Chains A and B, each alone.
Chain A
């Protein structure tokens, strides 16, 4: 099952990943990081299809994507 890890230290709460996620399973935190930003959260990992659009659109390379088992390569990147 794919795993999306959002590093709070890099996230500046810009919400671009939330907009990009086709599954609409990312949302913003209620608390703020030490740098004073809300940060993005994965609130339903089970519906993640591993498309990596969140990681691709993140301006701060805060998102790491891990895969296990079958992975569908949807496009060349």
Chain B
């Protein structure tokens, strides 16, 4: 802990510049907002706003392009990694990131994310896992927990029929192609600080043209979980993080300085 003596009043925390000044459409307490802010802060701190391009998914964060002062593409459901591949390949100087939910990435778009990671595409993916389809009204997602009640698993997810929730970080980390895969969460300030470091590492990997990076962020959905925002953060702690262990699953090999 160090002390800093400010002579004049200084603002130590404010809305990031890469953030637009719009009020988001997200439900109160939805942690999409936190993750958005962390990405925006990272873009500011790395000073890459003018060459960053986001690829929006289909889902609650489909309107993400309204909340950032960066160029954006709107992708069909699940296809953001393919758009990002095309974009990054023809314009490698751009910093490209996809922002996707669990329905978008783990369900319809699983082939796209697996192959983008396996080709080692040099873009960054922010994967928000809230164990449910939010935008369409709370249906079961590939990441929905066993026994979790949703509008399409009204008796609770039956793993005998719907299988067990998918662990994307573990799945992608089996690929031999170098990459950076980490799972974090944003249900407590301490976790939020760690998430920011992870997002920063992921974007730095891209700036250094190092490897593909994916950060899975455990997130909340108060509305469709039927919980208050504070209860929802507790639910992540008690239910989700035991099943989805946090941590770094894969790191690129150390660069051999030639």
Interfacial residues, chain A to chain B (CB-CB below 8 A) = 3, 9-10, 12-16, 19-20, 35, 37, 50, 52-53, 55-61, 63-77
The yes or no answer to B12 lying at the interface (CB within 8 A) is yes
Q: How far is the CB of A48 from chain B (nearest CB, A)?
A: 12
Let me know if A75 and B193 touch, CB within 8 A.
Answer: yes
Q: With a CB–CB cut-off of 8 A, which chain A residues contact B15?
A: 61, 64
Which of A3, A57, A72: most chain B Cβ within 10 A? A57
Total count of chain B residues near the partner, CB < 8 A = 38
Q: Does more than half of chain B's interface fall in helix, strand or loop, or is it mixed? A: mixed
Let me know if A52 and B6 touch, CB within 8 A.
Answer: no
Q: With a CB–CB cut-off of 8 A, which chain B residues contact A15?
A: 29, 228-230
Total inter-chain residue pairs, C-beta < 8 Å: 107
Q: How far is the CB of A49 from chain B (nearest CB, A)?
A: 11
Question: In the complex, what distance in Å separates the CA atom of A16 from the CA atom of B1?
Answer: 25
Q: With a CB–CB cut-off of 8 A, which chain A residues contact B19?
A: 61
Question: In the complex, what distance in Å separates the CA atom of A55 from the CA atom of B188?
Answer: 12
From A10, A16, A50, B12 is in contact (CB under 8 Å) with A50
Let me know if B4 and A71 touch, CB within 8 A.
Answer: yes
Let me know if A59 and B10 touch, CB within 8 A.
Answer: no
Which 5 pairs between the two chains have the least Cβ-Cβ distance? A59-B33, A14-B29, A12-B28, A65-B13, A14-B28
Q: Known contacts A14-B229, A15-B230, A77-B196; decide if A59 and B29 are in contact (CB<8 Å).
A: yes
Q: With a CB–CB cut-off of 8 A, which chain B residues contact A68?
A: 6, 8-10
The yes or no answer to B208 lying at the interface (CB within 8 A) is no
Q: With a CB–CB cut-off of 8 A, which chain B residues contact A53?
A: 189
